[in-house]
Amino acid sequence: MKFALSWLQALLDTKADARQIAEKLTSLGLEIEGVEDASAALTQFRVARVLTADKHPQADKLQVLSVDLGDGNPLQVVCGAPNARAGLIGVLGLPGAVVPANGMELRKSAIRGVESNGMMCSTRELGLGEEHDGIIELPADAPVGTSFADYLGSDPVFDVAITPNRPDCMGVHGIARDLAAAGLGVLKPIDAKPVAGSFPCPVNIRTDDPEGCPAFYGRVIRGVKNGPSPQWLQDRLKSAGQRPISALVDITNYVMLGYGRPAHAYDLAKLTGAVVARRAVEGETCLALNGREYPLQPWMTVIADDSGVHDIAGIMGGEHSGCSETTTDVLLEVAYFTPANIARTGQALALTSDARGRFERGVDPAFLDTGLDLLTGLILEICGGEPSDLIRAGEPPLARKSFVYDPALAGNLGGIDVANGEQKRILAALGFDVSEEWAVTVPTWRPDIDGAPDIVEEVIRVHGLDAVPSTPLPRADGVAKPTATAAQMQERRIRRAAAARGLNEAVTWSFLPTIEAEHFSEGASDSGAGLWTLANPISEDLKTMRPSLLPGLLAATRRNLDRGASTVRLFEIGRRYLRGVGGASDEQPSLAVVLAGEANPRGWATGKAKPFDAFDAKAEALALLAEAGAPVENLQVMGEAGSQFHPGQSATLRLGPKTVLARFGLLHPTTAKAFDLDGPVAVVELFLDRIPARKGPGSFARPHFAPPALQAVTRDYAFLVPASLPAGDLLRAVRGADKANVVAARVFDDFRGQGVPEGQKSLAVEVTLQPAEKSYDEAALKAISEKIVAAGAKLGGVLRA
């Protein structure tokens, strides 16, 4: 939210400068994002008088001006503005000055053969408005030769970040209230006098949707003259980033930005019959002020008359009934709309506005009469006219929350002992009512206050968060006991292992676009209830809780590849969110890995670049499962990784037929296309909650390594096995043949071809044997070999000659 210092000073009697105000706002929790002073960029521009204006000898639309800066040495300037003439007082940019609008540095130059010593500037060129039809015309008494920055005066503009829980500060008046409570001035009373009507309101105003619009107030003002708003009003709107339109529109925007009270003015001549707040009817649409037509749903609140919908209530008015230069009679509307309904409507229509930002946070329900009085008074002052009686339809929710507060909580919860009298002063300045018994009643403009801890926050932030002492926590003597849980230790180990293997950690949203979540919704619901969808999402693209970490990583992969990355190796540890039996929520710890692009770049030794394949994914899955403490030697490789995976190049790793610890492989081409990915993409998904916990304390601490006293022995075995036999099954059988002596086994060759019968393959296995008490003799090695051969025979394997 933006506003000028002069606007704040109109509501707050203060002598503080811009720096002091900015520091105090930040300490109050209203963080300053920037302070801009337009005059700071205008120091090299001067107030100048045009002495003569002659036609340019080489151009019909240019003039050669003689410009006086008050020093008796006129400068020659070439100008193309149609309003340039002798006697005009404007603004001259001297050589070396930088034009704020485009960053151009002015220089002495020749234009069509005539020397020009600067530029006479328009309002837009100086960044002071949008007018650019001619150069600025200053009053006749403007001091010639003075710096235009000094003439204009300094009026810094504050840009304040308002958090969603502070709807009271969505207007300059609310910010002024906070500063006054902090001792930076005195809050001025709102200058809103009740206006008596001189005739009955000719329009029937009512609310037929008390749930969406509990209160709807309005009155007619006839005989107004709409035109440009006064300069002071335009200046304030410009400081807030608003473009002045017309007096009637500017006044409603001014009350919204100044007091956080959105309102609307309708051209009475464009309305037919009663004006009603009601629910939309199926099939109705609204042509909004932004020129777009929005389809409405039956639960949305609208403002309509007998001819149809004119306004998406609380969000944006319609084109049909807006005020114009010919408007003479207006209907003012000030209403209270339910915040949740406004937020839901805005999200469904993907429509944002200043009014929506205030209504969905919660405007002050007690400000309807005052807001209408402000609007009426300003319109009568600026546009003239005659007001009607006020009509009030419905009742705003004026109930105020109240609870007993213990002032000792400021020290117990906030860490600062604030005197009771000071606490009462702060609360009173913020609008709270405090009784002698410390019964605190919350003002209507603070819907965020729900209990005593919120009161402590108010007291402490106004008293000063910088006054909170730094108090070290007590620590017991001796070595501190570990506080991390087994699950936390497991995640740390996996994270370090993944990084050590060359993977880059990513952190993606827990919310997904629904279409991306649906690709991985298979098996996400035991009850068939579907995905978890948020009722109040950040945006329509982030409304579904992720059933897998893979969609977020795939989107990140696409962004990296689009930006020229030749290889992408990403991993993430987080939670996936499932919908269980009966709709119960469930979040499960998971790890996901995505490998895309080049596994090995092209080179003289490797030849062409090699893409990632399913075996790369399997290697990552096994390595990370081992770090997580899974019994990888007992895992079985089985199919059915899921419809998102390539059916011939994917599998699962299981403990038994039902417990799936991981799935890996290449993405199905359809899934890859859905995420706009080309080429093979290898992925891994580990289900950390399914890994059986190790027994005993410190289960994830590595045992101290003690090298064996005797040297290990390796032996190679080549088995002829059925071509359909997984190599992992053979390795598992070999390892289990003699657990006391076989410590490792790995396949180092898979051959199919000449010398190998049809339907079979040759698997060569390297077996590592470790003697314990004495070295092996020939008899011991023969006995072990016989056990290994026998284990292979059980799977149909025959030792090759």
CA dist., res. 769 & res. 334, Å (int): 87
The SS3 assignment for 565 reads: coil
3-class SS at 517?
Answer: helix
Q: How far apart are alpha carbons 672 and 681 in whole angstroms?
A: 7
C-alpha of 519 from chain center: 24
Nearest alpha-carbon partner for 506 in 541, 550, 540, 566: 550
448 annotated ligand binder: yes
Who contacts 607 (Cβ-Cβ below 8 Å, separation ≥6)? Answer: none
What pairs with residue 52 in β-bridges? 66
Q: Is 610 helix (H, G, I), strand (E, B) or coil?
A: strand
- Cα angle value 126/132/134 (rounded, 5°): 105
CB 301 within 8 A of CB 279: yes
Amino acid (1-letter code) at residue 122: S
Rounded distance between C-alpha atoms, residue 730 and residue 728, angstroms: 5
454 labelled binding-site residue: yes
Distance between CA 165 and CA 146 in Å, rounded? 46
From the list 403, 462, 457, the residue with the least C-alpha distance to 433 is: 403
Task: Tell me, letter by letter, the H, E, C secondary structure of 136-190.
Answer: CCCCCCCCCCCEHHHHHCCCCEEEEECCCCCHHHCCHHHHHHHHHHCCCCEECCC
For residue 573, which of 552, 597, 599, 595 has the smallest C-alpha distance?
552
Closest CA to 494 of 599, 595, 571: 571
Please name the residues in contact with 746: beta carbons below 8 A apart, sequence gap of 6 or more. 731, 765, 766
| Residue 113 token pair | 């053969």
Give, for 3, the enclosing helix (H) or strand (E): strand 2-4
Torsions phi, psi for 536 (to 5 deg): -135, 70
The rounded distance, in Å, linking the Cα atoms of 267 and 285 is: 20
**Sequential DSSP letters for 253-270:** HHHHHHHS---EEEEGGG
* Spatial distance between the Cα atoms of 671 and 649, rounded to a whole number of angstroms: 14
Contact 644, 673 (CB under 8 A): no
Distance, CA of 636 to CA of 651 (rounded, Å): 10
Q: What angle do CA 137, 141, 142 make, to 5 degrees?
A: 55
Beta bridge partners of 75: 67
Smallest Cα–Cα separation from 133: which of 83, 87, 86?
Answer: 83
Non-local (6+) Cβ contacts of 489 within 8 A are 700
Which residues make up each annotated binding site?
448, 454, 457-458
Which residues make up each annotated binding site for Mg(2+)?
448, 454, 457-458
